[in-house]
Amino acid sequence: MGLEKFDPTLVSHDLVQDLKWNPELRAEFERDEAAVLDRYDLLPAERAAIEARDFRALYDLGFHPYLGGQLARLIYGNDAGDKANFAVGKLVESLQGDT
Amino acid sequence: MAEIVFAAGAPHAPGLIGLFDAAGGNTQAVVRDTYTALAREIREAKPDVMIVFANDHLANSRVRSYPDFLIGMAGEHKGPHEWFKPWIGCRDYVAKGCPDTAEALFRGMNRRGVRMFAERENLNFDDNISVPVVITDLDKTDIRLVPVLQNCTVPPFPDQRRCYEIGQALAEIIRDDLPAGLRVGLFGSGGLSHEPGGARYWFIDEEFDAWFLDLCTEGDHARLLNEVTIERMEASGSGGTVELLAWFVVLGAIGERRGRGFGYTAHQNFKCGVGAVNWPMDAAGQDALQTAGQGAA
């Protein structure tokens, strides 16, 4: 898996970068994910993939893998130890078709 | 005429700091030996300014408008960026900037046909700059920092040959544009093999890493340019290993010379191979490597 499917027009790239850069948005995402997603012009399949934590589907749509790792940490945890490793595990499970 | 007095390439994996205590003894020893040696070499070389090339990691620009090179021109550089703090697990820092050198680099590159961008505000630094600064305590010295964040992940991006050419332009700028007597350090921050965000996130390609480090210590630039292609790096970890392109900028600037390694570790929890190379810039350092039998350029 590489960058061959990468599509720079996907709006979900903006979503992940905004979540990184804006702690208030990040807090809202944790509280009310749907409300945040409502404000982004996501493709239906893009939104469904995010809501289902289906990284495989998101990558197939053209999502950048580096931001995929960060989306996993935004969802599952971002500390240097167990939480980030849990996030990596969930991401890899999805990409390898184990979920 | 300024001069290059220090040159190195080294990984910036966040685990080097945040996961260090949980690593095994051998891994800890390699990490400690490597970065202690680099910190010592930096201090002994006495650079006035350290120019660090590193993967931007999509931390500063939208993917739709992504610069290949972004120079940090701020008077001081603060990090890590807020979101990355728990992930890296490192202390805050404020490194002295060097706007004059950053401006000369920006001006000189654009005049030489290398399109770079520059920002006077503090950039968002993740592990790319934060790890080398904190692990060598660069911020606790008088050495001023010029970060150059580069595009290693948003295709199309400059390949190894273009990065090497940009390194050659960098050498020209240091020689012809920077003030006489200025002592310059060059640091390529990134690698070794890893695949952040990919299906092989835990994969480390030890064979690739050993081969690449050998080429770097031998100073065989023809083989590096011919064989360490984007495709080869991608095969050893998509989206991560290619940040070795930062090393190619340094290699282009210093020309063929031997390098010194400090060991290697492939600790899975770091999710990245770890090994560094320092290229001595003086004749005595090169002679010492030859006497010791390290490198073969």
pLDDT score for A99 = 52
3-state helix, strand, coil in chain B (%, to 5): 45, 15, 40
Q: Which residues, in sequence order, are CB contacts of B156 under 8 Å at separation 6+?
A: none
Q: Is the pLDDT of residue A81 over 90?
A: no
Task: Check residue B116 and give left, alpha or beta (phi > 0: left; psi -120 to 50: alpha).
Answer: beta
Decide if B258 contacts B273 (C-beta within 8 A): no
For position B297, what pLDDT does the model report? 43
- Give phi and psi for B258, each to the nearest 5: -75, 160
ipTM attached to this prediction: 0.94
Instruction: Show the tokens assigned to B132.
Output: 């080398």
Nearest to B69 by CA among B57, B56, B51, B52: B56
Q: What is the mean pLDDT of residues A2-26?
A: 96
A91 inside 8 A of chain B by CB? yes
Q: Does B52 have pLDDT greater than 60?
A: yes
Fill in the amino acid letter for B85: K
Residues 55-74 of A with CB under 8 A from B: 64-70, 72-73
Please say whether the beta carbons of B149 and B124 come within 8 A: no
Q: Please, which residues have CB within 8 angstroms of residue B162's CB and are 6 or more apart in sequence?
A: none
pLDDT of residue B296 exceeding 80: no
What is the predicted pLDDT for the residue at A3? 87
pLDDT of residue B94: 98
Q: Are B192 and B244 in contact (CB under 8 A)?
A: yes
The pLDDT-based confidence of B138 (bands split at 50, 70, 90) is very high
- B176-228 residue pLDDT tens: 999 999 999 999 999 999 999 999 999 999 999 999 999 999 999 999 999 99
Nearest chain B alpha carbon to A92: B199
Does A80 contact B14 at a Cβ distance shorter than 8 Å? yes
Mean pLDDT of A73-90: 91
For residue B294, pLDDT beyond 80: no
Q: In order of start, what are the domains of chain A with their CATH numbers? A: 12-95 (1.10.700.10)
Looking at the domain B3-292, which fold is it?
Protocatechuate 4,5-dioxygenase; Chain B (3.40.830)
What contacts A46, CB < 8 A, 6 or more positions away? Answer: A10, A11, A12, A58, A61, A63
Chain A residue with the nearest C-alpha to that of B18: A80
Q: Cα separations (Å) of B72 from A46, A98, B117, B148, B149?
A: 34, 42, 9, 6, 8
Binning pLDDT at 50, 70 and 90, where does residue B25 land? confident
Residue pairs spanning A and B at CB distance below 8 A: 91
Among the partner residues A1, A70, A80, nearest to B19 by beta-carbon distance: A80
Ordered by start, the domain boundaries in chain B are 3-292
Residue B47 reports pLDDT greater than 80: yes
Report yes or no: B60 at the A interface, CB cutoff 8 Å: no
Return d(Cα A95, Cα A58) in angstroms, integer: 10
Flag whether residue A97 sits within 8 Å of chain B, measured between CB atoms.
no
Over residues A41-69, the pLDDT tens digits come to 999 999 999 999 999 999 999 999 999 99
Chain B's closest residue to A77, CA to CA, is B87
**What is the structure's pLDDT at A78?**
92
Q: What is the pLDDT of residues B111-121, one digit of tens each?
A: 999 999 999 99
Overall size of chain B counted in residues? 297
CB B241 within 8 Å of CB B233: yes
**How near does any CA of chain A get to the CA of B184, in Å?**
32
Percent of chain B with pLDDT over 90: 96
The per-residue pLDDT for A1 is 56
State the pLDDT confidence band at A98, using cuts at 50, 70 and 90.
low
Tokens 């899975």 — which residue? B268
